[in-house]
Amino acid sequence: MAGEQIQLGVVRRLPPTPQTPPDRRTECSVVRCGDTGGPGLPVFLSWDGLRRLCEHVCSDAEVELGGVLVGDQCQDEQGNPFVIMTGSLAAQDYTNSAGSFTFTHNTWSRFTRELESLSGNRRIIGWYHSHPGWGVFLSDRDQFICENFFAGALDIAVVVDPQSNQLGVFQRICCGKSDWLQPAAGCCVFVEGVASAEMTARGLPTPLRYFVGPVGANFAAPSRSGRQD
């Protein structure tokens, strides 16, 4: 894919923020999705932020939609890294189809303005998009975006298939091609206060379920006409 087809700004790199993970905070309720006991980067997704993200990508289940993930990249008292997603910014200026999604320079400028208007210490920690009917994976085009614009060690990606009702998280894991993001075996969904019955029962907003792919696999696009990679 030609690099000039994607026009993004530069993600400002900041050192990890010293912070206590949500699963060690008495004021937070946490539900684990998939297997969170492995060696991968701990990822914590805010229930409210995740719900709004899913409402966006499920608002049109026939074409790809996306945006950036907002939150913080942190380290605990022992210096162990983890990521917190508190919200997202939906792309407003983009080109898309049933099998492709491309940011534009105008979208990135809008992200910068919207991020500055948010309260608290927040940064862009990755990106998300939907794969309507294609499954949960990162295509070559997606990996290009990750490698060139979300290349930080703690940057993540979220992919949702609104037709099969699956959600997956991708992160950098030291196996094989380390620059590529791989599917995370699990993640944690958290909320400050008492978790709702829906969150306690499912972890993810209904009807989504967590997708766990084989770690180390090359998640290229399926061989199917219509998907543009």
Q: pLDDT digits over 41-95, tens only?
A: 999 999 999 999 999 999 988 888 999 999 999 999 999 999 999 999 998 877 7
69 DSSP β-pair partners? 88, 126
- What CATH code is assigned to 17-210? 3.40.140.10
Contacts of 26 (CB under 8 A, 6+ apart): none
Condensed to tens digits (0 to 9), the pLDDT of residues 180-211 reads 899 999 999 999 999 989 898 889 998 999 99
Residue 116 and residue 94: Cα distance in Å, rounded?
21
DSSP string, 38-98: SSSPPEEEEHHHHHHHHHHHTS-TTS--EEEEEEEEEE-TTS-EEEEEEEEEE-SSEEEET
What's the whole-number mean pLDDT along residues 19-35?
Answer: 95
Q: Is residue 174's pLDDT more than 90?
A: no
Comparing 8-22, 136-150, 211-225, the range with the smallest average pLDDT is 211-225
What pLDDT, on a 0 to 100 scale, did the predictor assign at position 97?
67
Residue tagged 């490698």 (tokens)? 147
Per-residue pLDDT at 9? 52
Checking if the pLDDT of 119 tops 80, the result is: no
For the chain, the average pLDDT equals 84
- Say yes or no to pLDDT of 220 above 50: no
For residues 10 and 149, the model is more confident at: 149
Please give the model's pTM, rounded to 2 decimal places: 0.85
Number of H helices, E strands in the chain: 4, 13
| E strand residue ranges, the chain | 17-18, 28-34, 43-46, 66-75, 81-90, 94-97, 100-103, 123-130, 156-161, 166-172, 181-183, 186-192, 209-210
